[in-house]
Chain A
Amino acid sequence: MPSRTGSHRPAGIGKSLSERGLLLLIVLVLLEGSVLPLGAASSPDISHKEDLDKHKVPEENYTKKAFPVLDLDYHHVHTPFEVSLWVLLASLMKLGFHLIPRLSGIVPESCLLITVGLLVGGLIKLAGEKVPPVLDSKLFFLCLLPPIILDAGYFLPIRPFMENLGTILMFAVVGTLWNAFFVGGLLYAVCQIQPANPSILHNIELLPCLLFGSIVSAVDPVAVLAVFEEIHINELLHILVFGESLLNDAVTVVLYHLFEEYSGAGTVSVLDCVLGVISFLVVSIGGVLVGAFYGILTAFTSRFTSHTRVIEPLFVFVYSYMAYLSAEMFHLSGIMALIACGAVMRPYVEANISHKSHTTIKYFLKMWSSVSETLIFIFLGVATVDGPHAWDWTFVTVTVILCLVSRVIGVIGLTYVINKFRIVKLTTKDQFIVAYGGLRGAIAFSLGFLLDENLFPMRKMFLTAIITVIFFTVFVQGMTIKPLVELLAVKKKQEAKRTINEEIHTQFLDHLLTGIEDICGHYGHHHWKDKLNRFNKKYVKKCLIAGERSREPQLIAFYHKMEFKQAIELVESGGGIKLPSAVPSTVSMQNIQPKKPPTAKPAERVLPQLPKGREEEIRKILRSNLQRTRMRLRSYNRHTLVADPFEDGFGDLLMKKQKMIELEKKIHDMNNYLTVPAAPPDSPTMCRARLASGKDTDFKPAQQHKGNTICPDPQAYSMKPTSDSVPTIHVDLASPQSPDSVNVMDEFKRASKKRDEEDQGLMMRPSTGLRHAGEADGGKEQQKLTRCLSDPGPSADEEEDEPFLP
């Protein structure tokens, strides 16, 4: 708390100078990090030199003039210009696909993007230019891949990931090893048995084959993400395939370096194998450790950012990037470092940073990753057109077939083993999807691209085969997986957001299971998880989270988050009519409050007999007030952003939030009185139907008016409690009667409001649900108002019903 209250400006000036210096340094480092490789990637390129030559001619022309009013110096900007052009192209393409209505439903975006890449590459080639080596490995690994992986790591659903870690690791490590050796070995065998015509395949040795196998066998996170995001598969399958694609990076890296190293020498000894295993452990665990280290560093840094909120997101990005680079520096698994970094930092960073920074991080990560992904697929297309190809039918077909076969065998074999240990077994359908979802992507291509032409004379053939496999998996499997998922009726992801009840019960269950384990006296998962949680709460959170929040239990944090979200929704909707849409019902606190003197109700209910116009007015006032407070605070400040009412420290935030909630309650209550819902509570189906038909709290159903006018009438009450037992049919039964009764009662008003009465007679006939719908549309407020004054309400009807009931 003390550090939070210090966030008000006067205290922060002295410190912020030095801090800003530090930040500047970091920004520079970041810029260097991100721009240099870009430049390095695209500048040593002959096509640009041609550009340069071309543009020199006009330049000379211009310099002869006295003063160049308009100058053309393309070379000066060409690198960033081209980069922006690519990004723009990618973004526009992404935009375009979603404008074409049915296209994106049939073809996955990744396929479309590759096609665009092919077209662009083809155009460049037709124009006679040399296709730029866009998918340069350096560019790919240093610029395009990290955002995607960070996005995946930061938003990794940790719980399912950890729960299935064993399965994921099994697929990632053993599965990838199996694939690599199966594909590599059999490929070598196939290359050897071809006695008839002499071909280059005979020259291929075992090690390059294994290297090729290790490149082509790894499931690619980018491709998997691109496809799986679209098919909305259930969480378990998603995390299995996706987790595998992330964690197999370490295996791929080690295998790649191992085989690359020894394919020159030609032999691998047992010692090398042992070293390889050790190296695998070092690469994977080292990567995770590096990531975790940077993650903790990020969390720790974010503890002190309460004075300079603007740069908060930057820390997340820069530290993560540093983690990636540091890991890559030692040939550790950069992907695993990023994943670990993102997953470790997230809970702490989220507690420290402001809400806005959190949103910024979310959007930036999503934006970067989606642009990167788009670029990768486009570049893949371009590189395909560009690449020096050596097409060999045997090699390519055998590769594709072997990839598929090894994947299927691997998955089936591994699930057989895994299912012995799993509680939730993987069904045949699951296995099929896991096997089928093993898409290959740009990582394989980039690794193939990195091969040294001198060491591997068959590099071109390898590249062609890799590209074919990628295209096959992305196009054929990627396009068919969606229909297959639907055909097999694989369970899909439920979109429902987490409710507070679920949160309570998840926690309750955790504690319960821990307790039962303790009583059983053996220490299983829950016990250790509990230990870890307690350690986290006791020590780690204190160090990494500033202020009050470090002591906040998870449940309370969740509740606050939810409350906060609702408050924001409320403000953003401007307190408009749609307000209670978050809770699409008219149930309010008083419905669940156990002890409530029933006498208080009539008084309460008489009070807010607001006509609709008046209600609107109140809403307007409230809204404009809210806007004004927000407006006042909205002054531009480069360093502190807008001093948002939500962000001046936690205490303040709580207070504001409380206010919001109160306001919401007020409006909600007001709404409630105005929208006292259908008196005869409809059957569940009817409720649902009405829910589906729209937010019917927005309606001003007739009953509410009745309720308001009749409220002193005890009949209204006598009717409500029975509501659950009275089916809607009663109303229907009554319907022939009701117009009459109404007419009798309103005889004297009839003359003056004839039209109105007709309307009413019509309205009374169907059950109330329909009536609402009928009245909701059309601005018949005036009518309704008059009617509610005259309408005796359904209670009268009900009374008359009684004799009709059997």
Chain B
Amino acid sequence: MGASQTRTVHKYQDLADKTGFSLEQIKNLYQRFQHLSGNEETISRDNLESIPALANNPIRKQIIAAFFDKRNQHQDEVGSCNEIGFEQFLMVMSHFRPPNAKTTEEEKEAMRKEKLRFLFNMHDTNNDGTITLVEYRKVVEELLSNSGDIGQEAAKAIADAAMLEVASTNVPHMGPEDFYAGITFEHFEQILEGLEMESRMHIRFLDVNTATMRCGKSQS
């Protein structure tokens, strides 16, 4: 028991170094992970899809897909897997870490890039480096998927307008025969410049444990 205890602590320390989470946070997330997976080693799509709170989320599919996307796991692989272990789970979660006071400017910049890359990968489903109009339309459609028919009608128009906007701000001069293939990562960075993703794209991971965690568990 004692040996396994130290081993897990050791493993946690490894993960903490890799992901930047604190040990407490990792412990919390591990509990959650076990709860979701039903005490299995890995987690599958079904596990995530069965989270009741997610049921109302219009972009549920993309969120779940992002967890199983190998691009988001700090590896150079491409494609998606069917099951992820705790480490991969943590890797995906680590994209949502808030910056803290100690992060330097360069680190912040790297963090921003990383977060934006995560978003970009969510949109760029076929991993060709651009978000094409079709992909963008899909995103907006999903966003509006909760609002029925009006949503679907408007989605196309909105995506088109948005794409037009990107094209016109990034490549202001195009002949009618030019073709804007899609949003590249650079353009993506540029259009989201005003949103200050580095500070916005985060959630608060619980540091202190158990009581709230339990409460959350019992509800879900």
B81 to nearest A CB, angstroms?
A: 17
Q: Of A514, A555, A556, A720, which contacts B175 at CB under 8 A?
A: A720
> Shortest beta-carbon distance, B177 to chain A, in Å?
5
Considering the complex, which residues of chain A in the window 716-765 have a beta carbon less than 8 Å from any beta carbon of chain B? Answer: 717, 720-721, 723
CA distance A507 to B201 in the complex (A): 12
Query: At the interface, yes or no: A642 with Cβ under 8 Å from chain B?
Result: no
Knowing A500-B162, A559-B157, A559-B161, say if A519 contacts B63 (CB, 8 Å): yes
Q: Which of A19-27, A194-202, A446-454, A579-587 contacts B (4 or more CB under 8 A)?
A: A579-587
List of B residues within 8 angstroms of A605 by Cβ: 176-177
**Interchain CB contact under 8 A, A419 and B54:** no
Contact A501–B177 (Cβ < 8 Å): no
| Contact A587/B203 with A556-B158, A676-B175 known, Cβ cut-off 8 Å | no
Instruction: Find out whether the CB atom of A588 lies under 8 angstroms from the CB atom of B176.
Output: yes
A425 to B205, CA, bound (A): 17
Distance A589 CA – B122 CA, assembled complex (angstroms): 25
Name the distance in Å between A238's Cβ and chain B's nearest Cβ.
15
- At the interface, yes or no: A523 with Cβ under 8 Å from chain B? yes
A592 to chain B, nearest CB (A): 5
Which residues of A lie under 8 Å from residue B147 when comparing CB positions?
551-553, 556
Q: Given A508-B139, A556-B144, is A515 in contact with B63 using a C-beta cutoff of 8 Å?
A: yes
Are B144 and A521 in contact, with the CB atoms below 8 A?
no
Q: Does A655 contact B (CB under 8 A)?
A: no
Task: Report which of B59, B143, B175, B201 forms a contact with A679, defined as CB distance below 8 A.
Answer: B175
What 1/0 mask marks residues of chain B from 180 to 220 whose CB sits below 8 Å from any chain A CB? 10000000000110110101111111100000110011011
Count class of interface residues, chain A: 35 or more
- CB of A515 within 8 A of CB of B172, answer no
- B-chain residues with CB within 8 Å of residue A516 when the two chains form the complex: 63, 93, 96, 203
CB pair A687 B172 closer than 8 Å: yes
Q: Which of B36, B67, B139, B202 contacts A423 (CB 8 A)?
A: B202
Establish whether residues B158 and A504, one from each chain, have CB atoms under 8 Å apart when the complex forms: yes
Q: A366 contacts which chain B residues (CB < 8 A)? A: none
Instruction: Tell me the bound Cα distance from A513 to B36 in angstroms.
Output: 18
Binary CB contact string for chain B from 142 to 175 against chain A (1 if under 8 A, 0 otherwise): 0110111011001001101111111111011111
B72 at the interface (CB under 8 A from A): no
Interchain CA distance A408-B38 in the complex, whole Å: 54
> Are the CB atoms of A591 and B63 closer together than 8 Å?
no
Check: B99 CB closer than 8 A to any chain A CB: yes
Set B36, B119, B144, B171: member contacting A505, Cβ < 8 A = B119
Q: A717 contacts which chain B residues (CB < 8 A)? A: 177
Residue ID in chain A nearest B118 by CB atoms? A512
Contacts A519-B63, A556-B144 given: A723-B162 contact, CB under 8 Å? no
In the assembly, what is the distance between CA of A593 and CA of B200, in Å?
Answer: 32
Task: Given the known inter-chain contacts A513-B201, A520-B203, A673-B176, please indicate yes or no for A508 contacting B217, CB distance below 8 A.
Answer: no
Tell me if B51 is interfacial: C-beta within 8 Å of chain A.
yes
- Among A298-348, those with CB < 8 Å from B are none
Say yes or no: B59 contacts A425, CB within 8 Å. Answer: no
Q: Which of A526-584 contact B (CB under 8 A)?
A: 526-527, 530, 534, 551-553, 555-556, 559, 562-563, 583-584
Q: Is the CB of A553 within 8 A of B168?
A: no
Name the B residues within 8 Å of A502 (CB-CB). 191-192, 194-195
Q: In the complex, which residues of chain A have a beta carbon less than 8 angstroms from the beta carbon of B151?
A: 553, 556
Would you give the shortest CB distance from B205 to chain A, in whole angstroms? 7
A residues less than 8 Å from B32 (CB atoms): 519-521
| Chain A residue, CB-CB nearest to B60 | A515
B204 engages A524 (CB within 8 Å): yes
Give every chain A residue within 8 A of B175 (Cβ-Cβ).
586, 676-677, 679, 707, 720
Confirm or deny: B75 has a beta carbon within 8 angstroms of a beta carbon on chain A: no
Determine if A490 is an interface residue (Cβ-Cβ < 8 Å): no
Are the C-beta atoms of B216 and A521 separated by less than 8 Å? yes
Contact for B101 among A419, A511, A527, A588, CB less than 8 A = A419
B133 at the interface (CB under 8 A from A): yes
Q: How far is the CB of A591 from chain B (nearest CB, A)?
A: 5
Interface residues in B, total, Cβ within 8 A: 78
Name B106-125 residues within 8 Å CB distance of A.
Answer: 119, 122
Interface residue from A563, A587, A677 paired with B167 (Cβ < 8 Å): A587
* Chain B residues closer than 8 Å to A520, beta-carbon distance: 29, 32, 93, 203, 205
Bound form: Cα–Cα A526–B98 in Å: 14
Contact for B165 among A499, A556, A590, CB less than 8 A: A499
Q: CB-defined interface of A486-518 with B at 8 Å, one 1/0 digit per residue?
A: 000000001010011110111111011111111
**Cβ contact within 8 Å between B59 and A500:** no
Among the listed A504, A676, A687, A721, which residue makes an inter-chain contact with B143, where contact means beta carbons less than 8 Å apart?
Answer: A504
Contacts of A806 in B (CB 8 A): none
Once the chains are docked, how many angstroms separate the CA of A673 from the CA of B148?
38
Residue of B nearest to A421 (CB): B204
CB < 8 Å neighbour of A555 from B51, B56, B143, B201: B143
- Within the complex, what minimum Cβ distance (angstroms) separates A81 from chain B? 50
| Measured CA separation A142–B71 after assembly (Å) | 61
A691 partner residues in chain B, CB cutoff 8 A: 172
Closest A residue to B55 by CB, please name it: A518
B51, B154, B212, most chain A CB atoms within 10 A: B154
B134 at interface by CB-CB < 8 Å:
yes
Q: Considering the chains assembled together, what is the distance between the CA atoms of A142 and B17 in angstroms? A: 61
Flag if B161 contacts A593 (CB, 8 Å): no
* Of A419, A504, A596, the contact of B140 (CB 8 Å cutoff): A504
Is A424 part of the contact surface with B, judged by Cβ < 8 Å? yes
Q: Is A672 an interface residue (CB 8 A)?
A: yes
Contact B180 A591 (CB under 8 A): yes
B74 at the interface (CB under 8 A from A): no
Could you tell me if B177 and A553 are in contact, using CB atoms closer than 8 angstroms?
no
A362 within 8 Å of B (CB atoms): no
B20 within 8 A of A: no
Neighbouring A residues of B73 by C-beta, 8 Å? none
Chain B nearest Cβ from A194, distance in angstroms: 45
Q: Does B178 contact A (CB under 8 A)?
A: yes
CA distance A721 to B168 in the complex (A): 17
A559 and B140 CA atoms in complex are apart in Å by 12
Chain A residues near B119 (CB, 8 Å)? 505, 508-509, 512
- A494, B194: Cβ atoms closer than 8 Å: yes
Q: Are B158 and A555 in contact (CB under 8 A)?
A: yes
Is A583 a contact partner of B164 (Cβ separation < 8 A)? yes
- Quick one: closest A residue to B217, CB to CB? A521
Q: How long is the Cα–Cα vector from A534 to B147 in the complex, in angstroms?
A: 12
> Are A583 and B192 in contact, CB atoms less than 8 angstroms apart?
no
In Å, the complex CA distance between A638 and B62 comes to 54
Residue A467 lies at the interface, judged by CB distance under 8 Å to chain B:
no
Q: How far is the CA of A615 from the CA of B201 in the complex (A)?
A: 49
| Cross-chain contact A423 with B98 (CB below 8 angstroms) | yes
Of the residues B178, B205, B213, contact of A720 by C-beta under 8 Å: B178
* Alpha-carbon gap, A143 to B68, bound state (A): 61
Interface pairs (20), CB distance under 8 Å:
A423-B204, A425-B101, A501-B192, A502-B192, A506-B195, A516-B63, A516-B96, A518-B53, A518-B220, A519-B54, A521-B36, A521-B216, A521-B220, A527-B53, A553-B151, A583-B168, A585-B172, A720-B177, A720-B178, A723-B178
Known: A499-B162, A589-B164. 20 other contacts (CB 8 A): A419-B101, A505-B119, A505-B191, A505-B192, A507-B143, A518-B53, A518-B57, A519-B63, A521-B217, A553-B144, A555-B143, A559-B157, A585-B174, A587-B171, A588-B164, A592-B180, A598-B177, A681-B171, A682-B173, A687-B172
Interface residues of B (CB under 8 A from A): 28-29, 32, 35-36, 48, 51, 53-54, 56-60, 62-63, 67, 93, 96, 98-99, 101, 119, 122, 132-134, 139-140, 143-144, 146-148, 150-151, 154, 157-158, 160-169, 171-180, 191-192, 194-195, 197, 199-206, 212-213, 216-217, 219-220
5 residue pairs, one from A and one from B, having the closest CB atoms: A585-B168, A518-B53, A677-B173, A585-B172, A515-B63
Contacts from A to B (Cβ < 8 Å): 419, 423-425, 494, 496, 499-502, 504-509, 511-527, 530, 534, 551-553, 555-556, 559, 562-563, 583-594, 596, 598, 601, 604-605, 672-673, 676-679, 681-682, 687, 691, 707, 717, 720-721, 723
